[in-house]
Amino acid sequence: MDHAAQNLELIRNRIVRAQRRFGPPPEHVELIAVSKTFDAEAIRPFLEAGQRMFGENRVQEAKDKWPGLRASYDGIQLHLIGPLQTNKAREAVALFDAIHTVDRDKLAGVLSEEMQRAGRQLPVFVQVNIGGEPQKSGIPPSETVDFVARCRQVHRLNVIGLMCIPPESDPPGPYFAHLASLSRDAGVNNLSMGMSGDFEVAIAMGATHVRVGSALFGHRSAAPAVL
């Protein structure tokens, strides 16, 4: 637990320093502790240390470990930060408190139906494929503004922001700046961007939610990208 508390304090202090260094916006930055691949016992020390916002990539993995943790700790906010298949939408709406990866009309429509059925109106982020990478999910930047409008007007989703993962091989700053520009054009206020290696750059560009995993939990044994 001491190790978890120390890591949390370190990252929170870095967030505060980045805010002071670069100035508003944003006035407030949410730390999403990315707990994917880590079991409940690895997560528990961070809950004991006061962290309440966590990110998971897969519905089934989250379903297996979070109900028990929610029963023991109040105030948990669980964010889905990985790709979502439409056949998992019902479970996602029941389990998560926010979804960061809305990237196509079919998914938006299914999520809207499931939210109405469940009586829950979750905040969502539109995922943008900011680098135009074929292996990544996300709406193309050129289609982002129109897609946000459709999500709101046609699908009746509560779109609160945009999310992106920049190309690993390039400096992230220009991609974060591009997402910030798109958010202004789309009329959304939140930016989910920045991971363990670049969250301070993301804050400089206006991030409101940073997704930090390895800097808190340590490196995963096998993962295609470190969140």
From the options 3.20.20.10, 3.40.50.300, 3.30.2130.10, 3.40.50.150, give the CATH code of 2-217: 3.20.20.10
Q: How far apart are CA 202 and CA 40, in angstroms?
A: 29
* CB 35, CB 43: distance < 8 Å: yes
| Cα atoms in the 13 Å half-sphere on the side-chain side of 10 | 13
For residue 90 the two structure tokens come to 């019902």
pLDDT tens profile 174-214: 999 999 999 999 999 999 999 999 999 999 999 999 999 99
* CB 190, CB 209: distance < 8 Å: yes
Integer CA distances (angstroms), 21 to 15, 176, 197, 205, in order: 10, 17, 18, 12
Q: How far apart are CA 124 and CA 118, in angstroms?
A: 16
Q: Establish whether the linkage from the previous residue to 140 is cis, with ω within 30° of 0.
A: no
Decide: helix, strand or coil at residue 164.
coil
Q: How far apart are CA 177 and CA 193, in angstroms?
A: 10
* 13 CB-near residues (< 8 Å, 6+ apart): none
Please give the single-letter amino acid code of residue 204.
A
Decide: helix, strand or coil at residue 225.
coil
pTM: 0.93
Residue corresponding to tokens 């050129």: 142
For residue 161 the two structure tokens come to 């922001």
For residue 152 the two structure tokens come to 């709101």
Nearest to 14 by CA among 6, 24, 3: 6
Nearest to 128 by CA among 111, 141, 116: 141
* CB 177, CB 204: distance < 8 Å: no
Q: How far apart are CA 103 and CA 140, in angstroms?
A: 9
* Tens of pLDDT, residue by residue, the chain (227 residues): 589 999 999 999 999 999 888 766 567 899 999 999 999 999 999 999 999 999 999 999 999 999 999 999 999 999 999 999 999 999 999 999 999 999 999 999 999 999 999 999 999 999 999 999 999 999 999 999 999 999 999 999 999 999 999 999 999 999 999 999 999 999 999 999 999 999 999 999 999 999 999 999 988 654 444 34
Q: Which residues are bridge partners to 77 per DSSP?
A: 53
